[in-house]
Structure 1
Amino acid sequence: MKISQKLSQLLALSCALVVTVPLALKAEDKATAATETVSKKVQYLFVHNAKDVSFADGKMTLKGIDANTVFFSDRPDRIAGQITTADFTKNWGNGADSFEADNPNATIAIFSEEEPTDIVVELSNPVLAEDSLTYDIKVLEGEIPKATGECSLFIDIIGRPLTPVSYAGVARRTARRVVRYR
């Protein structure tokens, strides 16, 4: 009788494990999925447009800058919108993964009459004064042109500097392949 009683207990324990372990694993999978969803961050590309740009002493000044900065994300989120340039510069250092914590790369596309030019730079320390926005820059690729003009500054996604899928990474691969449509 003792053997049959122990076998019954063992059988009951085995059945309990067969039922509860998969339930526990499913709950753990759900918790992992929820954590991944919460920790997923949408990554944005930001674009400044200006009437002119100048370079001096390691600084770049966007003159006649638009009052709004455009932002958008890639798939699957496909979010687009605008933020005031003033709010953009005020929020430069907010958050653990801010632009201040990890200086972004950017491509400045200059649409001069002589020759369109793209330069890849690292940005830091934005200062907005009226309709001019000045950044400290470090040139990563390209040369500062003599002639300037209207421009767009494409600021790379936070946390993805110099990667092949980042805007600056693509710009490096396509440097000197500038096409101007008239």
Structure 2
Amino acid sequence: MRIKEVIVVEGKDDTARIREAVDADTIETNGSAIDAPILEQIRHAEKKRGIIIFTDPDYPGERIRHIVSQHVPNCKHAFLPKHLARAKQDKGIGIEHASVEDIREALASVYELVEDREETITKDDLIAYGLLGGPSSRQKREQLGIRLHIGKTNGKQLLRRLNMFHITLEQLDEAMKQIVQEERHE
């Protein structure tokens, strides 16, 4: 599987693991201290080929995702749930610990951020689905993040990502039906 876009990752271990899964070029941020030359390299790659941000599912990874998104608009985003990026013997979390299959699936479910769109999903919709303010809201948001490949979120982030990634009310409804059905079978 050849990826046209350049993938932004945190380090060389992430690059090595991604190259085991797909044929792709990467730019390494070398952690969350992203300097101007790296941002310029990402900006240039975005103009030529497009960018997919694929950072670790932890606070530093989300910080890097935010910094790159702020400086380089029009990036696409791939997410890997935390439980799929956990190292054996609990030595950390990162893309480098994920299976080849999970990396391929995350890269096949890429979202593009588009800021100029009217919100289609509202806070009331999230409340109605039990994603806000309920006793199991956090667990439902985590399951939804996995199912829709949008990462782990709090309530405010969830509303923003659903609308930012153009997820429709119908897609949300279908995902929530599957989550409820899985809960019934547990």
Query: What TM-score, normalized to structure 1?
Result: 0.24
Q: Name the structure where helix makes up a greater proportion of residues.
A: 2
Q: Name the structure where strand makes up a greater proportion of residues.
A: 1
Query: What TM-score, normalized to structure 2?
Result: 0.23
Larger-gyration structure (1/2)? 1
Higher relative contact order (CA 8 A, sep 6+): 1
